[in-house]
Amino acid sequence: MDVLPDEDEAAIQATAEDFLAAECTPALVRAAERDAARWSPALFARIAELGWLRLCLPEEDGGDGLPLTHLAVLFDVLGRHLAPVPMHGTMVGAITLARCGTPAQRAILPAVGRGEARIALAIQEADGSWSADALALRGRREGDGIILDGAKSFVDGFRESTHAIAAFLLDGAPALALLESDAPGLSATDLVTTAKDSSASLVFDGVRVPASRIIAGAAPLRLLMDLAAAFLAAQMAGAARRATERAADYAKDRVAFGQPIGAFQAIQHMAADMLIGAEGAQLLAREAIWRLGEGLPATVEAAQAKAFANEKCLAACRSAQQIHGGIGFIEVHDQQLWYRRVAAWAHRCGTAREHRRTVAAALLDQQGPVRLDVPLVAE
Amino acid sequence: MDVLPDEDEAAIQATAEDFLAAECTPALVRAAERDAARWSPALFARIAELGWLRLCLPEEDGGDGLPLTHLAVLFDVLGRHLAPVPMHGTMVGAITLARCGTPAQRAILPAVGRGEARIALAIQEADGSWSADALALRGRREGDGIILDGAKSFVDGFRESTHAIAAFLLDGAPALALLESDAPGLSATDLVTTAKDSSASLVFDGVRVPASRIIAGAAPLRLLMDLAAAFLAAQMAGAARRATERAADYAKDRVAFGQPIGAFQAIQHMAADMLIGAEGAQLLAREAIWRLGEGLPATVEAAQAKAFANEKCLAACRSAQQIHGGIGFIEVHDQQLWYRRVAAWAHRCGTAREHRRTVAAALLDQQGPVRLDVPLVAE
Amino acid sequence: MEFAFDAREDSLRREVQAFIAEELTAAIREDIDAGELGVQFGPIATAFFDKVRARGWTGVSWPVEYGGQGRTAMDQFIIEEEFGRAGLRIGGAGTGAPAILASGTEEQKRAFVPGCIRGDIIFAQGYSEPGCGTDLAGIQCRATRVGDTYVIRGQKTFMTSAHVATHIFLMVRTDPASRRHAGLSILLVPIDAAGITIRPLWTIQNDPVAPRGTTYGENRTNEVFFDDVVVPASCLLGEEGDGWNVAQRGLSIDRVGARRYLMSVLRDEDIVNWLKKDEAPNRALRADPVVRDKVAELWIEGQVCRLLTMRSMTIARRGGDFVHEASAEKVFAPEHGVRATEAIGQILGPHAQLLSSSPEAVEEGVFAHNLLGAFQSTINHGSVQVMRDQIARKGLGLPRPGKRGETV
Amino acid sequence: MEFAFDAREDSLRREVQAFIAEELTAAIREDIDAGELGVQFGPIATAFFDKVRARGWTGVSWPVEYGGQGRTAMDQFIIEEEFGRAGLRIGGAGTGAPAILASGTEEQKRAFVPGCIRGDIIFAQGYSEPGCGTDLAGIQCRATRVGDTYVIRGQKTFMTSAHVATHIFLMVRTDPASRRHAGLSILLVPIDAAGITIRPLWTIQNDPVAPRGTTYGENRTNEVFFDDVVVPASCLLGEEGDGWNVAQRGLSIDRVGARRYLMSVLRDEDIVNWLKKDEAPNRALRADPVVRDKVAELWIEGQVCRLLTMRSMTIARRGGDFVHEASAEKVFAPEHGVRATEAIGQILGPHAQLLSSSPEAVEEGVFAHNLLGAFQSTINHGSVQVMRDQIARKGLGLPRPGKRGETV
C-alpha cells in the first residue's frame, strides 16, 4: 500500500510540471480559447514529442507499456495548467482500444502515440445522461457493417479529433463504433461551454461503419466510461489544487484590514478545506486509475472519484474566486480560467447524483456485509 | 407583513423569559431527568397558573382566544429553557380538538387550560415513519364504538398525560381517537432517549373507544401533524438560539492562545452560522404557526420549518458543544442538556427527508409555475 | 406577527403585475436589452419608463418634496420586486439618492433626488480601488481642497455603471495624514468633469453576454482614473472627513431589499419551473426522488432568504435599527445562491455548462451564466467574511481580536 | 502507487481475522466488557490477551530490544484495525511508549516499553487542565525541582484512563517564570504516588453506558489533583524545559492510525449493513433513492478518510515527515464522522434517539450514542480549528496573523 507517486511516477510528474509551467501559460490557454479550433496544436505536438501519448500504450502498439498510474499524474499536471489539448478523449479511447480492440482496431494506436490520431468520445445524448441505459442511438445492420442514424451530444474535443468512438445500441446491447471524424453523413454543431474549449453535438445521417470497426458488448463501453470519469476527476483535482495554490499566493500578497488576507483565519480555513477537497479527489482518482491499470473492476472507484471531484473541486475553484474578490470576475485576470474550466468539467462524464447511484447500487443491492477497505464490484 | 412579535406577543415572550430563566433552571431540568416521571409537575402547575395553557384556546372553551402566534413565542422560550413539561402534546392535541372536535370532545379543553388534562400524541408506529400513509393501527367497529388492537411508538410525554390522541385507520381512512391514558387494555413501555424525557411505546389490547371520542377524516390528523411539527420546530429554534448564546458567552470568557476564544474568527464565523440557523428555523416555524392560526393551509410551511430545524438547530447545538470543548462531554456541565434534547427533537415529528418529500410534491406535482412568495398547498 | 401583505399591498402588486403584463411589449424589451444596464435605451423604452414614473413607481419611499411618493418601504419593495422579476431595475438601490437624502444639504437634495427619480441623474458608485475592496478604509484616491474646489487624483475600479452614469458617488481621502476610516469624504462628481478617464473592464459574462436575470450577470464594469479632476467644493456630501458614515447610510440599502433578495433566489424558482415543463428529460428528472429532495432543500433555504428579507423590511418599517439582521441576510442569501447554482448544475449535468449563445442551452444558459457569477454576490457590498464578523460581534457580542498569541 | 496491501500483509490480516473469529469467545468478551477501557479485566480475558501477545501482535512496530516486534507500521495498522473492528484496543496509541522510545533514556526505555507491551504498564495522558485544553501552552501544573526530586502541584482534567492507569504521562511547568511552550517538561509519574487524588468525571455516555464501538463512547474520564506529589528526578522524560517537543512526538500518533480512522468511518459501514438487513423498515429505507444517495455520499467520504489514512501510512513507511497531511486527516475524518452521524439520524428518524438500554433501540443504540459523542473527535488531540490553521500555514504557506487592524 503506497498511495503516493513512486520514483518513476514522480519523475514524470516533475518533468511534466516543469514543461507545462513553462509552455502552457495562461496566455496560451487564452489563445486557444480565441482560436476557432479552441485547442493548441503546437502544444499537443510538443506533448507528442515528449512521448506522453505513448507512455501507457502497450509496447506492441508502439507504446512504452508503463502502468496507467503514469497517466494519473499526467492528467493531474494537465489539469493544473489547463492544457488545451485533446488528451482526455484520446487517451480514454486509445486505452479502451488497446484493451478491447481487435488487432485491426488497434492499428490506430501507433498514430495515437505520435499525436497524429486524436479521439473524441461520443457517449452522451441530448438528455445529458451518463448511463449506458440512456443510449438511444441505434445501429442498423446493413451488409458487412452498420448504419448509424441519430445524434450524440456533449462530444468534447471533436473539432480537433481525427477519430470518434461512439456508443450505440446494436441489437439492443451497447456497442462502440470507431469512426473517422470526417465520415460521410457525420456533421457537428459547436456548443459554447463555460470552458470555452471545443464541444459539439453530432448528427449521424446514415453514417456507415464497417463491422471491423465495431466493438460489441457492455464491457468495453463500461471501461471507456470508467476511464473517462477517472481521468477527468484526476484532471479536476490538479486544476483545483493549482487554483488553491494560486489563491493562497494571492492571499499572501493582498492586504486588507492591516494584514495579508491570508493571515485571516476565515481565509486560512477556507484554503484548508480547498486543499483537502483537491487532495481527496486526487486520491480517489488515483485509486480508480490504479485499479483500471491493474485490470481490476473500477466502476465504483471511478464513480466515487468523479462524484467527489464534481462537488469539491468546483467548490475549491469557487472559493479561489472568492478569495480573489472582484478581480475573479474580470476577464483579463487569469484566475477565472481555472474556474470556468472546472465549472464545465464538473458537469461532464456524469453528475454526482448519477455516480452516487452507481455506488449505492454496489453498496445496497448485493448480498453480504460491506467494509470500506474491501472494493465493491458494480453489478 | 411583519415577521417580528407585536406588542402583545413581545410582552408574553418577555414574561415567559423572565419566569423560565428564574424557575426553569438547569437544576430543575436535571431533577426532572432523574425523576421516574421525567417531568416537573411543579413547573407545569406554575405554567398553568400563569395561564399559558389557555392563552390560545377558544374563549368558549375557557381560553383567552389569542392568536396562535402567542404559542409560537411561548414554544420558543420553552425551548430556550428546555422546560420539562408536556406543553407540546397538550397544546397540539387541544388545538386540534378545538378546531375539529365536537362540543363533547371539546369538553376536555377547560381542564387543559387549567393544566389538569394533559395530552400525549400517538401518531407514529414501530417503523418510525411520519406519514398518514404509514398508519397500521386499525379500529374495528363494535357496537357504538371501535376497538383498537395494535401498537404505537414514540409517544412522547405519555407518562405525564391524562389523555392520548391516537391516529388509526377506520374503514381505510385516517381517524383520531381521544383516549384516557389509563384506558383498559392500554399499556406503555418506556423508551430511553437522548433527551431523557418521557417517551413510550404503547400496546393497544382491545382498547374500546366510544364513537363520541372519534374524529374521522384525514384533515384533523393533518392539522395535528402540522401543529406538532411547527410547534416542535419553534421549540428547537429557541433551544438552538439559547445554546448559541451560551456558547458565545463561554467563548467570551474562555482564553486560549492569548485571547478569548470568541475573538478567533473561526469561532466567530461558526457562531454566526449557528445564529443564522436558529433564526431561520424560528422564522419558518413562526410563519407556519401564523398560517395555522389563520386557518390557512400550512402543511408545506410546517414541513419547511421542521426540515430546516432538524438539520440547522442540531448543527447549532453541536457547534455549541464544539465551542465548549471537553466540558461539553461531561455530564455535570449544563451545556450538554441542550444538545441531548435537540438531538432527540431533531428526530421526532418527521425527518428532513420526509418533510422535504412533502415540499417536493407540492412544488413539482401540481400545475402552474411557482413563486417563493406564493404559498404552496399540499395535495 | 403577520406573515402576509395587507390588502392595499396585494392590490399594488396586482396593479404592477398587470401593468407589466400589458405594457412591457417585446419591442420595449428589445429596446431595453439593446441599451446598457437598464439605464441607457432608445425612445420606445423611454416612453415606457415615463409611464412607470407617471404611476409613481419610482422614488416610491422618498419624500414628496424631492419628487418622491412618500410611500412605504414595503410599497417600494413590491414594485421593485415585480419589475425585478420582469428583468428591469427600477430606482432605489445604488442610486446615491438615499445617502443624499440622509446627509445632503437642502440644495443637494433638490439638485439630485428628483433627477435620480426621473432617471436623468445616474450615479456610479466610486468605492473600490485596486488596492482596497472589502476593506474600504484603505482608500487612497485623494481629494485636495484648493480654494473653493477639490482636486481629485487617483484611481477607482469595479465602477460598474460608470459608462452610463452622469455622476460618481465618490469616496476619497481628503485628509492625507489620516488613516483608516478617518479623513474620508464623499464627493458627488459629474462624470464629464475634465480629467476623468473611464476604461472598460470586461467580465467573464461578456462573451457570450449573460441572459437577463443572471445573478451578477454584468458583462462590463470599469476602471476610472482621476487626473487632477477639479470639482466645486459644493460637491462635498456631508461633512469633510465624515465620508465613512455618509457612505454607510447609502450602502446598507444595497445589502437588503428586493434586488439582493431576487439575486439569491430566482434560480430556486427557475429550476422548479423548468422541471415542470412537459418534456421528456424534465419529466424524468422531476420523477427522480434525489432531484426532488434537493429541489425541496433549496426551496426551503429560499424561504429562509425571503423571511430574512421580510425581517429586514419589518425592522425598517418599524423604524428600528439593524443589529445583525442585515448582515445575516447578506450571508445566508448569497451563499444560498451559490449552493443553489451548484446543486442545479449537478441536476442538469452537461447542460449546466452551456452558455447563452450555445445550441441546446437550457433556459438561454441562465443557469450556466449564474454559475459564472453567483460567487460575486458573496463578495460585493461587504463580503460574507466581514458580514460574519459583524454578526458575531453585534449579534452575539463576541470580542474583536486583539494581538493574537501563538496558536500552535 | 500501489493501492493494495501486499500478499504478506493480506495474509497477516487473514491470520488476525481468523484468530479473532476463533479465540474471541462470548465469555472473553463478557470479561472484557466487565472491565474498564479494555485494560482492566478478569482472568479469562487476561489469558486471551496473553495469546495475542504471544502472536507478537502488541508492540508490533517497536524495537525488538524493548520487547517489540520490530515490524512495519503497516503491520501494526492491520492488527490494530482488525482488533479495533472487534471492539478491542491493542497497544499503540496513547500509551506513552512512542514518546519514551523517541526521547527516553536507555533506562526509561527498558523500564517502560516492555511493560507497555505486556500491558503491565498503562499510561494516562496528563495534558489538559481546567484552564487549557486546545492551547496546551497555557499549562499551570507546576513541578519544582527539590534536590533529586520533583514536587508536583496542580490539577489535570480529562485524564480518561487515570482510574485504570499505572502511570501518568504528565506535562508540567518546570520553569515558573516561563510562558507558553517554553519551560514545560514531561514527567512519568506513578499513579500511586502520595498526594495524587483521582475524581471521576462522568460523561454523557454514562447513563446508559454507550455500546462497544461507539465513537467517543467513554463513560468516564477523570480529574486528577496533585498535592505536593514527590517523584524522583529520574521520572523526567527528555530534557527539562523541552516537554513540548517531547510530547509532540507522542501525540502525533493519536492523530493518525487505525483507531482514529475507525472512529470516523465505522458508522458508514454500520448504516449500510443495517440497511441490508432483511426486515421491512430496512427494506423500505434501502429502496428510497434519497437514502441511497446519502449513504453513497457518506461512503465516498469514508473512502477519502481511508485514503487520507493510507497517505499518512505511506509517508510514515517512506520515513518522510508530515507537512499538513496528518492535519488534513484530522480535519476531514472527524468532521465526516459528525456528518455521517447526523445524516444517519435523519435516515433512522425517531429510532436515532434511542439509547443503548431502550426498547426498540437500533443496533444497541450505537447510532444514538454516536450522536452524543462524535463531536468530541473534532476537539480532542488537536481541534479541527487548530488543524486547519496548520494546514493553511504548513500546506499552503499562509502567514501567521500579526496584530490585526480594524476589520469593519
Say if B374 falls within a structural domain: no
For B:248-267, CB contacts with C below 8 A are: 248, 251-252, 257-260, 262-265, 267
Q: What is the pLDDT of residues D250-269, one digit of tens each?
A: 665 555 688 889 999 999 99
Nearest to D332 by CA among D270, D254, D256, D267: D256
Average pLDDT over residues C105-129: 92
Confidence of residue A36 (pLDDT cuts 50, 70, 90): confident
In this structure, the answer to whether residues A307 and A268 fall within a common structural domain is yes
Task: Specify the pLDDT at position C132.
Answer: 87
Of the three residues C241, C269, C302, the one that is the final residue of a domain is: C241
In this structure, the answer to whether residues C131 and C237 fall within a common structural domain is yes
Chain A residues near residue C138 by CB distance under 8 angstroms = 255-256
Q: What is the pLDDT of residues B297-306, one digit of tens each?
A: 999 999 999 9
Among B141-145, B247-251, B306-310, C401-405, the range scoring the smallest mean pLDDT is C401-405
Tell me the pairing of strands A186-190 and A199-210.
Answer: antiparallel
In this structure, the answer to whether residues B250 and B345 fall within a common structural domain is yes
- Distance between first and last Cα of chain C: 49
Task: Specify the pLDDT at position D278.
Answer: 93
Say if C101 falls within a structural domain: no
For A:50-109, CB contacts with D below 8 A are: 69, 72
* Structural contact between residues D37 and D29, judged by C-beta atoms closer than 8 angstroms: no
In this structure, the answer to whether residues B230 and B336 fall within a common structural domain is yes
Tell me whether A268 touches chain C (CB under 8 Å): no
Nearest to B153 by CA among B176, B109, B121, B182: B121
What are the helix (H) ranges across D26-161? 26-34, 43-54, 73-85, 97-103, 106-118
In this structure, the answer to whether residues C232 and C260 fall within a common structural domain is no
CATH number where D293 lies: 1.20.140.10
CATH number where C70 lies: 1.10.540.10
Chain B residues near residue C77 by CB distance under 8 angstroms = none
In this structure, the answer to whether residues D391 and D280 fall within a common structural domain is yes
Average pLDDT over residues A235-243: 98
Average pLDDT over residues B308-332: 97
CB within 8 Å: D345 and B315: no
Among A190-204, B120-134, C299-313, D111-125, the range scoring the smallest mean pLDDT is D111-125
Task: Specify the pLDDT at position C33.
Answer: 81
pLDDT surpassing 90 at residue D59? no
pLDDT surpassing 80 at residue A304? yes
CATH number where B104 lies: 1.10.540.10
Mutate to test the interface with A, among C375, C389, C407 (most CBs of A within 10 A): C375
Helix/strand/coil percentages in chain A, nearest 5:
55, 15, 30
Average predicted confidence (pLDDT) for chain C: 91
Average predicted confidence (pLDDT) for chain B: 97
Task: Specify the pLDDT at position B379.
Answer: 75
Q: What are phi and psi of D11, to 5 degrees?
A: -70, -35
CATH number where A200 lies: 2.40.110.10
Helix axes C325-348, A352-364, angle to 10 degrees: 70
In this structure, the answer to whether residues A227 and A203 fall within a common structural domain is no
pLDDT surpassing 60 at residue D404? no
In this structure, the answer to whether residues C129 and C57 fall within a common structural domain is no
In this structure, the answer to whether residues A236 and A354 fall within a common structural domain is yes
In this structure, the answer to whether residues A212 and A311 fall within a common structural domain is no
Tell me the pairing of strands A255-256 and A259-260.
Answer: antiparallel
Q: Neighbours of B (≥3 Cβ pairs closer than 8 A)?
A: A, C, D
* Structural contact between residues C305 and B308, judged by C-beta atoms closer than 8 angstroms: no
Say if C116 falls within a structural domain: no
Measure the CA–CA gap between B362 and A211, rounded to whole angstroms. Answer: 52
In this structure, the answer to whether residues D269 and D220 fall within a common structural domain is no
Of the three residues A68, A86, A117, the one that is the final residue of a domain is: A117
Task: Specify the pLDDT at position D37.
Answer: 66
Say if A133 falls within a structural domain: yes
CATH number where A250 lies: 1.20.140.10
Cβ atoms within 10 Å, residue A370: 17
Say if A2 falls within a structural domain: no
In this structure, the answer to whether residues B192 and B257 fall within a common structural domain is no
In this structure, the answer to whether residues D230 and D260 fall within a common structural domain is no
In this structure, the answer to whether residues A233 and A356 fall within a common structural domain is yes
Tell me whether D74 touches chain A (CB under 8 Å): yes
Residues near D268 by beta carbon (within 8 Å), at least 6 away in sequence: A372, D298, D299, D301, D302, D340
Measure the CA–CA gap between D286 and D278, rounded to whole angstroms. Answer: 10
Task: Specify the pLDDT at position D392.
Answer: 97
Say if C237 falls within a structural domain: yes
Chain B residues near residue C306 by CB distance under 8 angstroms = 372-373
Say if C52 falls within a structural domain: yes
Say if A377 falls within a structural domain: no
What are the helix (H) ranges across A24-86? 26-34, 41-49, 69-80
> Taking the CA of residue A340 as centre, how many other CA atoms within 13 Å lie in the half-sphere pointing to its CB?
27
Of the three residues A171, A195, A216, the one that is the final residue of a domain is: A216
Domain extent, residue B320, equals 219-364
CB within 8 Å: A357 and D289: yes
In this structure, the answer to whether residues B201 and B125 fall within a common structural domain is yes
Q: Domain tally for chain A?
A: 3
Say if A131 falls within a structural domain: yes
Measure the CA–CA gap between D264 and D307, rounded to whole angstroms. Answer: 13
Q: Domain tally for chain D?
A: 3
Nearest to C336 by CA among C258, C268, C254, C252: C268
Tell me whether C404 touches chain B (CB under 8 Å): yes
**How far lies C178's CA from each of A258, C175, C184, C185, in Å?**
15, 5, 8, 11
Q: What is the pLDDT of residues D109-129, one digit of tens each?
A: 999 999 988 888 999 999 999
Measure the CA–CA gap between C190 and C235, rounded to whole angstroms. Answer: 9
Q: What is the pLDDT of residues C153-206, one digit of tens each?
A: 999 999 999 999 999 999 999 998 988 888 999 999 999 999 999 999 999 999
In this structure, the answer to whether residues D280 and D391 fall within a common structural domain is yes
Say if D18 falls within a structural domain: yes
What nine digits make up the cell of B9?
Answer: 406577543
Cβ atoms within 10 Å, residue D177: 7
Of the three residues C208, C241, C274, the one that is the final residue of a domain is: C241
CB-count burial class (<10 Å; 0-12, 13-18, 19+) for D339: middle
Between D47 and B57, whose confidence is greater? B57
Rounded to a whole number of angstroms, the distance from the CA of A132 to the nearest CA of chain D is: 19
3-state SS, chain C, equals CECCCCHHHHHHHHHHHHHHHHHCCHHHHHHHHHCECCCECCHHHHHHHHHHHHCCCCCCCCCHHHCCCCCCHHHHHHHHHHHHHCCCCCCCCCCCHHHHHHHCCHHHHHHHHHHHHHCCCCEEEECCECCECCCHHHCCCEEEEECCEEEEEEEECCCCCCCCCCEEEEEEECCCCCCCCCCEEEEEEECCCCCEEEEEEEECCECCECCCCCCCCCCEEEEEEEEEEEEEHHHEECCCCEHHHHHHHHHHHHHCCHHHHHHHHHHHHHHHHHHCCCCHHHHHHHHCHHHHHHHHHHHHHHHHHHHHHHHHHHHHHCCCCCCCHHHHHHHHHHHHHHHHHHHHHHHHHHHHHECCCCCCCHHHHHHHHHHHHHHHHHCCCCCHHHHHHHHHHHHHCCCCCCECCCCC
Say if B378 falls within a structural domain: no
pLDDT surpassing 50 at residue C405? no
In this structure, the answer to whether residues B351 and B253 fall within a common structural domain is yes
Say if B376 falls within a structural domain: no
In this structure, the answer to whether residues D297 and D215 fall within a common structural domain is no
In this structure, the answer to whether residues C225 and C270 fall within a common structural domain is no
In this structure, the answer to whether residues C262 and C234 fall within a common structural domain is no
Question: Please, what's the b/e burial string for C342-356 (b: 16 or more CB within 10 A of its CB; e: otherwise)?
Answer: bbbbbbbbbbbbbbb
Chain D residues near residue A372 by CB distance under 8 angstroms = 265, 268-269, 299, 302-303, 305-306
pLDDT surpassing 50 at residue A151? yes
Of the three residues D176, D207, D241, the one that is the final residue of a domain is: D241
CB-count burial class (<10 Å; 0-12, 13-18, 19+) for C7: exposed
Chain A residues near residue C204 by CB distance under 8 angstroms = 329-331, 336, 340
Task: Specify the pLDDT at position D94.
Answer: 57
Rounded to a whole number of angstroms, the distance from the CA of B352 to the nearest CA of chain C is: 9
Of the three residues B86, B117, B148, the one that is the final residue of a domain is: B117
In this structure, the answer to whether residues A360 and A224 fall within a common structural domain is yes
Q: How many helices and strands, by DSSP H and E, does chain D display?
A: 14, 8
Domain extent, residue C57, equals 7-91
For D:342-371, CB contacts with B below 8 A are: 342, 345-361, 368, 371
Measure the CA–CA gap between D206 and D221, rounded to whole angstroms. Answer: 10
Rounded to a whole number of angstroms, the distance from the CA of B312 to the nearest CA of chain A is: 20
For C:336-395, CB contacts with D below 8 A are: 386, 389-390, 393
pLDDT surpassing 90 at residue B76? yes
Nearest to D37 by CA among D85, D87, D81, D83: D87
Confidence of residue C408 (pLDDT cuts 50, 70, 90): very low
In this structure, the answer to whether residues C264 and C401 fall within a common structural domain is yes
> Taking the CA of residue A122 as centre, how many other CA atoms within 13 Å lie in the half-sphere pointing to its CB?
32
Say if D107 falls within a structural domain: no
Q: Which of D289, D386, D406 has the CB atom closest to C289's CB atom?
A: D289
pLDDT surpassing 60 at residue C404? no
Say if C368 falls within a structural domain: yes
Q: Which residues lie across from D184 on neighbouring strands?
A: D173, D242
Confidence of residue C137 (pLDDT cuts 50, 70, 90): confident
CATH number where C136 lies: 2.40.110.10
Average pLDDT over residues A73-98: 98
Confidence of residue A62 (pLDDT cuts 50, 70, 90): very high
Measure the CA–CA gap between C281 and C287, rounded to whole angstroms. Answer: 10
Closest residue in chain A to residue D13, using alpha carbons only? A373
Task: Specify the pLDDT at position B333.
Answer: 97
In this structure, the answer to whether residues A338 and A307 fall within a common structural domain is yes
What nine digits make up the cell of C6?
Answer: 395587507
Measure the CA–CA gap between D302 and D280, rounded to whole angstroms. Answer: 27
In this structure, the answer to whether residues D346 and D269 fall within a common structural domain is yes
Task: Specify the pLDDT at position C222.
Answer: 97
Question: Which residue is it, cell 472527524?
Answer: D334
Rounded to a whole number of angstroms, the distance from the CA of A233 to the nearest CA of chain D is: 14
